Structure 1
């Protein structure tokens, strides 16, 4: 068997353009490579590729003069190394030794507690609403609370009626944030006195510093039945329902959690370690401010020592 040679057609070889680099241009390139090599060998990890190949492939058309050549090398050296993390920033060839130090700052999103409750404290209902449905609580903060339904309005009216049975409301106009907090503290003192002398009060506002977080809440009802010399407060939470059915186990658990938070808050309030200085700082209150005349008159009429 004989083998016959394969006749091949002539191959067109494209002409490769050749550019001659002058000695002056080569000297500039070698100087830049030497500076880059010394910096990379002392600080850059082997897994991070350098730009030596990029610098060595710069065409001679970019080097028309010494000044222009220097500017071109500086421009390429300021670009980040290919394959390296984008969090690194290089200002010049001489700065390559500080690659490990220069890192991009990553912004950490602030918590919902900081964004929505940093000026008025965490409410007990915030805790129970989060336990009931975290996503619903998030939507209510970001998108606003849903409109009140007829069942919700009926529940609000029921709470107001129960409050009017034991407390007489008085409308007072406030002029500052200090006036608002003065009213809250005064309502707490009046309610605590009513609890002590009458054995029951309703809609009692509370505020305490729990686990490093300022927490606020309003207890629906507190009773203090007397059994001899022992008087233990009994916390009551009123729940209204749109249907005449018993609540589910999940609803009962949520109600128990709310009462436990109120109990924890109550124990914190009746103790003698209320951080008043931290209270003024957190809520940005001025302890030396003069309250409005209407607030002082109401305070004096309630039996508290106040200058009118």
Structure 2
């Protein structure tokens, strides 16, 4: 490459503008010879080489999640099939539910912005909703003991649908935990994560479906623990979502916040700080988690509960693979599992059953 560059410099120095004009003015034949010389010159070769150099690809985080968070479901879908997720981002979801429509409308409202502080107002209400749930969860640990088998014990307390926002490995992630059960131990209350799954006959899942379910539980524990450890950076949050920390909360919202015992919260920054501080007073999520399988036709019947043990190395490996996908650091791979392709909504994929009859099992 250095020799080629040296030759290019020599050609450029030897062929000034005046020399080229003089050459072209002599005859049409000379002009044709000049074009041939230019075509086969090292400089032309370099131009062709530069044209073939791959430019850095735009991250999916910038293209599709600018000033937004990545959801836990987004990471689960990447684990399920990277190529399918890529097509979904490119073509859009083809099975849009009412909940998804509402989410799209909310994000459209945020992006448009009725005023310069619409995003601060949105996040203030969103975070206050998170705070209310956390306060309720904390209140569950302050209950009177009850009689169980002639002993004073505290019965487990459960809380459902807890929303979270955290930054893990530099990625802002949101999600909603299904059930948190507060189990009383000798050292106080310990949170246990549980997730309901409805299946035919209430039978436990297996294979790739079970892998996805276990990954979901472990990812939620990772998010919870990051908040408890105080890994939520205020400045990074403001910068990522383009928010103004000095935004003054509406008086009505301030009154609601004060009713929950959070006094002197006036600015948006103070509200976010309260969200962060509340988690610091909570314990880490237990490494023992559970999947509850319920019969989709008879949900009132007794459910089957199976324990899942937390595997930090495994969840980090899958999470980092997912992050590499969102940053476009890897080429999305096709799934080689037949049943996943059968439920795919994207016939544009070469592996789709409509395009390929023989699929690996």
Same fold flag (TM > 0.5): yes
1:216 is the counterpart of 2:174: yes
CA deviations 1:130-172 (Å, max 9, x no partner) are: 11122322232222223357xx99xxxxxxxxxxxxxxxxxxx
Question: How big is the shift at 1:183?
Answer: 2.3
Pair 1:181–1:74, CA change in 2 (3 A): farther
Give distance in 1, aligned partners of 2:74 and 2:227: 19
TM-score w.r.t. length of structure 1: 0.59
Match of 1:114 in 2: 62
Match of 1:185 in 2: 127
Which of 235, 247, 266 aligns to 2:224? It is: 266
Give distance in 1, aligned partners of 2:69 and 2:162: 17
CA deviations 1:32-86 (Å, max 9, x no partner) are: xxxxxxxx999229xxxx9xxxxxxxxxxxxxx8882399669937974427585
> What 5-or-longer segments of structure 2 have no aligned partner?
12-21, 100-114, 141-156, 268-361
Higher RCO (Cα < 8 Å, 6 or more apart): 2
Give distance in 2, aligned partners of 1:79 and 1:292: 72
Which of 129, 134, 139 aligns to 1:197? It is: 139
CA deviations 1:266-295 (Å, max 9, x no partner) are: 010111342101110011011011233443
Q: Secondary structure of 1:237's partner?
A: strand
Give distance in 2, aligned partners of 1:302 and 1:178: 21
Pair 1:66–1:239, CA change in 2 (3 A): closer
Question: How big is the shift at 1:88?
Answer: 2.2
Pair 1:80–1:228, CA change in 2 (3 A): same
CA deviations 1:82-128 (Å, max 9, x no partner) are: 275856249xxxxxxxxxxx944642322323321232122111111
Give distance in 2, aligned partners of 1:66 and 1:87: 22
Question: How big is the shift at 1:202?
Answer: 1.9
Larger Rg belongs to: 1
Question: How big is the shift at 1:189?
Answer: 2.1
Give distance in 2, aligned partners of 1:189 and 1:233: 17
Question: How big is the shift at 1:217?
Answer: 1.4
Q: 5 Å matches for 1:260-299?
A: 260-299=218-257
1:68 is the counterpart of 2:25: yes
> What 5-or-longer segments of structure 1 have no aligned partner?
1-39, 51-64, 91-101, 154-173
Match of 1:44 in 2: 7
Contact 2:159 2:181 in 1 (8 A): yes
Give distance in 1, aligned partners of 2:182 and 2:244: 35
Q: What RMSD, in angstroms, separates the aligned Cα atoms of the two structures?
A: 4.0
Contact 1:222 1:234 in 2 (8 A): yes
Contact 1:124 1:216 in 2 (8 A): yes
Give distance in 1, aligned partners of 2:266 and 2:47: 64
Contact 2:24 2:34 in 1 (8 A): no
Q: Secondary structure of 2:175's partner?
A: strand
Give distance in 2, aligned partners of 1:211 and 1:115: 19
Pair 1:270–1:184, CA change in 2 (3 A): farther
Contact 2:248 2:266 in 1 (8 A): no
Contact 1:194 1:200 in 2 (8 A): no
Contact 1:220 1:238 in 2 (8 A): yes
TM-score w.r.t. length of structure 2: 0.51
- The total of aligned residue pairs comes to 220
1:176 is the counterpart of 2:118: yes
